[in-house]
Chain A
Amino acid sequence: MENTDIGIVNAVHDNPGGTKEIWRTFWILLGLTIVELILGYILIGVESHGLRLGLKGAIIILMLAKAFYIVAYFMHLKSEIRNLIMTILVPLALLIWAIIAFLYEGNSYRNNRNTYDPYKRERSHIMSTDVKADEKGKPQEKRTGAME
């Protein structure tokens, strides 16, 4: 018991519900995954832009719910004391900023290039079957896939 007996009130954080809670969490995770996959299947046939966005939003919410159940119940973070929870979760808030900032940046980069870079705009209309013909004209261009 090297360093485990120094000032630790409750070193063993077991799930209060025992194996019952483990299986409950498993069924929840399985259910969320199945719903996610169903939404993924529905997404294949959907054309409407708004509906696609809504379905993708729902999938992301389900993903975060799964993450919560894994961290809270499988990793027992929920039964740790507040100090530990905070020291792990607060730094991760940085990722929220990063997601918003970088995705916004990527989107605005696309819009700017589509507006001010006619070459880029033109290239994004090349069909994959035309790439070979396109390459003849611009031999310095790197091959951009969709071949063979």
Chain B
Amino acid sequence: METTAVAADTNWWNGGKSPFNVEYGKLMMWYFLMSDSFTFGAFLISYGTVRFSSNGWPNPNEVFRSYPGSGEINAPLVFVSIMTFILIMSSVTMVLAVHAGHERDKKGVMTYLAWTILGGLAFLSCQAWEWNHLFHEGAWWGRNPFPNSDGTASSTNFTNFFFTITGFHGFHVFSGVVINIIMLIMTAMDTFEKKGHYLMIEKAGLYWHFVDLVWVFVFTCFYLL
């Protein structure tokens, strides 16, 4: 597979070549991710719509102010910063795994995939802790113990959206970890070595980066705004 420069005047629609210049699986992964971004987009837009239609909304800095072992200390944004950092870091190790795949460096792919899986598991553990913590504070679907920021009584919209959207994102992280574990096993079994390329790692990588991308939006919409 030679990496030749694509001529600027190539006519991609004359037939005989892929008009998107990628193999089938990668193109379909892109289309899947596009459709998935509509799912998350619809979730976040409905969250925004309901928030805009409400007279009051809980203050995220009063809701998300703990981290494991923090006790009663008021520490807004600390725990979610750690979660964000973990996910960015795992994105970096994933892109390094893809890079190692291009160089047909089996050992590099396995090392970086293992780190990515570890990052994903760390993120999931953080989320599990946070859900558990909020549950014990009385928050769940249909239950909202947090008053609006102006002290007025709140509806359950806040917790419903929070648990649905972070839950759906967490499910994506979980699937990403499973996919990466499968990739790690396949790499260890020399499946890609026999195929002659590591394009599969690239597709798994696209999915993993998308999970990170969604977190950028979820994190901003729920914790910062």
Number of interface residues of B (CB under 8 A): 80
Return chain A residues, CB-CB under 8 Å to B185.
none
- Binary contact track A116-148/B, C-beta < 8 Å → 1, others 0: 000000011111101100100000000011111
Contact A91-B153, Cβ < 8 Å, known A40-B224, A106-B53: no
B189 within 8 A of A: no
Return chain A residues, CB-CB under 8 Å to B213.
67, 70-71
- A60 & B88 in contact (Cβ 8 Å cutoff): no
B152 within 8 A of A: yes
**Known A88-B33, A102-B45; further 10 A-B contacts with Cβ < 8 A:** A3-B24, A8-B18, A18-B99, A36-B220, A44-B76, A103-B45, A110-B55, A128-B154, A145-B143, A146-B145
A/B interface sample: 10 pairs, CB < 8 A = A3-B23, A6-B17, A7-B17, A10-B21, A74-B95, A106-B50, A106-B51, A110-B52, A125-B152, A128-B152
- What is B's interface to A at a CB cutoff of 8 Å? 1, 3-6, 10, 12, 16-24, 27, 30-31, 33-34, 37-38, 41-42, 45-46, 48-56, 61, 76-77, 81, 84-85, 88, 91-92, 94-96, 99, 102, 138, 143-148, 151-156, 159, 195-197, 199, 205-206, 209-210, 212-213, 216-217, 220, 223-225
